[in-house]
Chains A and B, each alone.
Chain A
Amino acid sequence: MIDKIRRLPAYARWATYATIGVLILTLVQELGQNQTSHLTATSTAQTALKWSIPILLAGLGGLFAERAGIINIGLEGMMILGTWFGAWGAFNYGPYWGIVIGAIGGAIGGLIHAIATVGFGVDHIISGVAINILGPFAARFLSSEVFTGYQGGSVTQSPRVENVDKFTMPFLAGGYETPNFLKWLGDKEIPLLSDIGNILRGILTQTSWATIIALLLVPISAYVLWKTRFGLRVRISGEDPWAGESQGVNIYRYKFIAVMISGAFAGFGGAFISIEMSSIYQEGGTTGRGFIGLAALIFGNWRPGGILAAALLFGYPYALQFGDFDGFASHALLLVNAIALFGVVIWALRNDKRTDAAIAFVLGSLSAIWYFVSDTVPDWWVKILPYVIVIVVLIFFAQRLRMPAANGQIYRRGQT
Chain B
Amino acid sequence: MNSSMIRRIGLALAAPTAAVLFATIASSIFLVIAGSNPFTAYGDMFEYGSRLEIQVDILNRATPLYISGVAAAIGFRMNLFNIGVEGQYRLAAIVAAYVGASVSLPAFFHIALILIVAMLVGGAYAGVAGVLKVSRGVNEVISTIMLNAIAISGLIAWLVREWQAGGTVDATGANLGIGTEPIDESGLIPNINSWLELFTREIGKGKELTGVLLVAVAVGVLYHIVLNRTRFGFDLRATGINPFAARAGGVNDKRMVLGAMVLSGVVAGLVGMAEIAKLGRFNPNFVGNLGFAGIAVALLGRNHPGGIAIGALLFAFLDTASGVLQVTGSASREIVFIMQGIILLAAVIAYEVVQRYRIREEARMASTLLAGEAEE
Q: Which chain A residues have a beta carbon within 8 Å of chain B's beta carbons?
A: 73, 112, 115-116, 120-122, 125-127, 129-134, 136-138, 140-141, 143-145, 155, 287-288, 291, 294-295, 298, 378, 380-381, 383-384, 387-388, 390-391, 394-396, 398-399
Contacts and interface: CB of A to CB of B under 8 A. Distances in A.
Interface in B34-87: 34, 81, 83
Please name the 7 residue pairs, one residue from A and one from B, whose CB atoms are nearest each other, closest first.
Answer: A134-B341, A137-B337, A384-B154, A144-B334, A141-B334, A387-B146, A137-B341
22 contacts: A120-B353, A122-B348, A125-B81, A127-B348, A129-B292, A129-B296, A129-B299, A130-B299, A133-B341, A138-B338, A141-B332, A141-B338, A144-B334, A145-B332, A384-B153, A384-B154, A387-B147, A388-B150, A390-B142, A391-B132, A394-B139, A399-B136
B142 A144 contact: no
Contacts, number: 129
Contacts of B353: 120
B352 A122 contact: yes
Contact of B348 (A130, A138, A287): A130
Nearest to B153: A383
B149 A387 contact: yes
Which of B34, B142, B299 has the most C-beta atoms of chain A within 10 angstroms of its own C-beta? Answer: B142
Contacts of A137: 334, 337-338, 340-341
Which of B83, B137, B335, B352 has the most C-beta atoms of chain A within 10 angstroms of its own C-beta? Answer: B352
Given A141-B338, A383-B157, 11 more contacts: A120-B352, A121-B356, A130-B348, A134-B341, A136-B337, A138-B341, A144-B333, A288-B148, A378-B158, A387-B147, A394-B142
Contacts of A134: 341-342, 344-345
Given A125-B141, A138-B337, A398 B296 contact: no
B112 to A, nearest CB: 31
Nearest to A71: B141
B179 to A, nearest CB: 18
Nearest to B341: A134
B232 interface: no
Given A391-B132, A394-B143, A145 B348 contact: no
Chain B facing A: main interface SS:
helix
Interface of B: 30, 34, 81, 83, 132, 136-139, 141-143, 145-150, 153-155, 157-158, 292-293, 295-296, 299, 332-335, 337-338, 340-342, 344-345, 348-349, 352-353, 356
A223 to B, nearest CB: 28
B84 to A, nearest CB: 12
A137 B292 CA distance: 12
Contacts of B340: 133, 137
Contacts of A122: 348-349, 352
Contact of B158 (A143, A380, A388): A380
B45 to A, nearest CB: 16
B345 A391 contact: no
Contact of B136 (A144, A295, A398): A398
Contacts of A129: 81, 83, 292, 295-296, 299
A380 B160 CA distance: 12
Given A383-B157, A391-B138, A141 B149 contact: no
A314 to B, nearest CB: 11
Nearest to B351: A122
Contacts of B150: 384, 387-388
Contacts of A291: 145-146, 149
Contacts of A140: 334, 337
